[in-house]
Amino acid sequence: MLRLPTLFRLLAFAVLIAFLVQPQWFEPLLRPLVQENAPAIYNQGSLLQLTLLHLRTVAIATAGATVVALALAILVTRRSGAEFLPLSRSLVNIGQTFPPVAVLALAVPIFGFGEKPTLIALFLYGLLPIFENALTGLTTLPPSIMEAARGTGMTGRQRLMKIELPLAMPVILAGIRLSVVISLATATIGSTVAARTLGEVIIAGLQSNNLAFVVQGGLIVAVLAVLIHDALQAAERSLGSRMGR
């Protein structure tokens, strides 16, 4: 039997899909938010297409940040790379030091308008949580398990691939979850530099003083963030219980 929170999530997902596919069904709910004769449903593009493009941008940036952050965490947790920890921390903190808007402003003259500046901003912004969680996961492994792995004659590479990464994966996944949720919200500003994201809907609403557009864009991003957050959290719990962490 499904629990109540699960039912709410399934209902939220169903409503989101229905709104993206048939937004006109929800026009009566949004009509009170607009002035007379103003459109209540975003009419300057497909909400479904913008949502898919938004998710694609977040997925690409998060994948890149995961690869780089995980590689750095592995490097600095090896005996030969421990001295690079301060430098690695400085690198992954760049995204938190510069606001995404500033990164966009610096990237546009080099890469032009479009998706690329947004990808760079999201990539830099997503490095820190993934790196720190990967570092925590790899440095808090049970010593008894690591000693047993060495005692069986495993090489460093074998220990990393068969013991360390699987055991640390729930903690690493928590960092990826945080990075994804941050990127989902931050990606909306990419529309200020002509990236195709749900920020288009919000910006169109602000420019035309159409509150319904702003609500649509904001709610879609919020529901996506909640659903993806919960899905990744469930994956963390599943991995954690399987790995005994």
pTM attached to this predicted model? 0.90
Q: 157-210 pLDDT, tens per residue? A: 888 888 889 999 999 999 999 999 999 999 999 888 888 999 999 999 999 899
Alpha carbon distance 84, 77 (integer Å): 9
How do the domains of the chain map onto residue ranges? 47-243
How distant, in Å, are the alpha carbons of 32, 36, 125 from that of 212? Answer: 8, 12, 29
Q: Is 28 exposed, middle or buried (0-12, 13-18, 19+ CB in 10 A)?
A: exposed
Residue 39 DSSP SS3:
coil
Tell me the per-residue pLDDT of 113-124, one tens digit each, with 9 for 90 and over. Answer: 888 999 999 999
DSSP 162: I
pLDDT in tens, 39-83: 989 988 899 999 999 999 999 999 999 999 999 999 999 888 889
Cβ-Cβ contacts under 8 Å for 82 (sequence gap 6 or more): 76
pLDDT at 244: 57
CA separation for the pair 126, 137 (Å, rounded): 17
**Residue 151, class by beta-carbon neighbours within 10 Å (0-12 exposed, 13-18 middle, 19+ buried)?**
exposed
pLDDT at 160: 87
At 83, list the tokens: 């001295």
As a CATH number, domain 47-243 is 1.10.3720.10
